[in-house]
Amino acid sequence: MPITTEDTIRWLQQVAVILHENRDFLTQLDSPIGDADHGINMDRGFQAVVEKLPALAGMDIGSTLKTVGSTLVSTVGGASGPLYGTAFLRAGIASAGKHELDEADVVSMLEAALEGIKARGKAQPGEKTMVDALTPALAAAKEAEARHLGLSQLLQRVSDAAEAGMKATIPMLATKGRASYLGERSIGHQDPGATSSWLILKTLTEIMG
């Protein structure tokens, strides 16, 4: 079963709910190594997205995601605004005109989103950022697609790989973002951006499960 336009809308609505529920958790993760605003920023951004959704009825998935991207850019104050904004804009470009997404579409959208984040943040894997959740997620998606495991298996593996990538940020030394000012003191903390990336992907898996 493909991901439809309706699924996309349900996903975005549920992401807003999940990020609202995890607002304090994400902000707690961000307090020792950042500026303690990640939960607040993501919650504010996705509440703004939810307000835009009714106006998007009937639009294709690409246009919907592009609107999500530009909304996040203008409403999320921290680094996650330009980063998630770019990710959704690029995923929207990769799905332009589509009303249904199959495994190959998910792979190309995830790839476009990750490339966008890496270009915008000039980040590479291993720097304790959202890239560390998304890079293994993309690898898992590619592998699942090559093995024709089907969409729900693919999404499950993407979610699991993002979770493992998120946990792998704990022992990392931050060299990007506000955490990099802390140097060695950034070690031992889970990255908030990697955590929100996992939450967003996990929510898609659950919506399609």
Partner 1 sequence: MTVGLVIVSHSAQLAEGVVELAGQMAQGDVAIAAAGGTSEGVLGTSVEKILAALHEVDGPDGILVLLDLGSAVMATEMAVETFMAGREDLEGQQEHVIISSAPLVEGAVIAAVESSIGNSLQEVAEAASGACTLPKVHSQNR
87 closest CA partner among 95, 19, 27: 95
CB atoms within 10 A of CB 194: 26
The smaller minimum CB distance to partner 1, of residues 99 and 178, is found at 178
User: Closest CB to partner 1 among 92 and 136?
Assistant: 92
Q: Cα-atom radius of gyration of the chain, to the nearest Å? A: 16
- Can you say how many angstroms the Cα of residue 140 is from the centroid of all Cα atoms in its chain? 15
Question: Residue numbers of the site for partner 1 (CB under 8 A)?
Answer: 35, 37, 41, 44, 73-75, 77-79, 81-83, 85-86, 120-121, 177-178
Q: Which is nearer to partner 1, 79 or 154 (CB)?
A: 79
Q: Cα(43)–Cα(16) distance, rounded to whole angstroms?
A: 7
- 60: helix, strand or coil: coil
Cβ at position 47, least distance to partner 1 in Å: 12
At closest approach, how far in Å is the CB of 10 from partner 1?
28
Between 41 and 64, CB nearer to partner 1: 41
Provide, rounded to whole angstroms, the least separation between the CB of residue 178 and partner 1: 5
User: Contact, 46 vs 85, CB < 8 A?
Assistant: no
- What's the min distance (Å) between Cβ of 193 and partner 1? 11
